[in-house]
Amino acid sequence: MNLFPSDLEHMAQTIIADFTKRGLTIATAESCTGGLIAGLLTEIAGSSAVVDRGFVTYSNQAKTDMLGVPALTLETYGAVSRETAIAMAHGALYRSGGSVAIAVTGIAGPGGGTAEKPVGLVHLAATKRTGQLIHLKMQYGTRTRDIIRQETIKTALSMLSDIAST
Instruction: Round to whole Å and give the CA distance between 93 and 127.
Output: 8
pLDDT of residue 1: 63
What pairs with residue 140 in β-bridges? none
Share of the chain above pLDDT 70, in %: 99
Q: Is 125 exposed, middle or buried (0-12, 13-18, 19+ CB in 10 A)?
A: buried
Q: pLDDT per residue over 129-145, tens digit each?
A: 999 999 999 999 989 99
| Rg (alpha carbons) of the chain, rounded to whole number | 15
Rounded Cα gap, residues 101 and 143, in angstroms: 27
Confidence of residue 3 (pLDDT cuts 50, 70, 90): confident
**Mind listing the pLDDT tens digit for each residue in 36-87?**
999 999 999 999 999 999 999 999 999 999 999 999 999 999 999 999 999 9
Domain ranges of the chain: 6-164
Contact 11, 157 (CB under 8 A): yes
Return the CATH superfamily for domain 6-164.
CinA-like (3.90.950.20)
Task: Look up the pTM and report it.
Answer: 0.97
Give, as one character, the DSSP assignment of residue 121. E
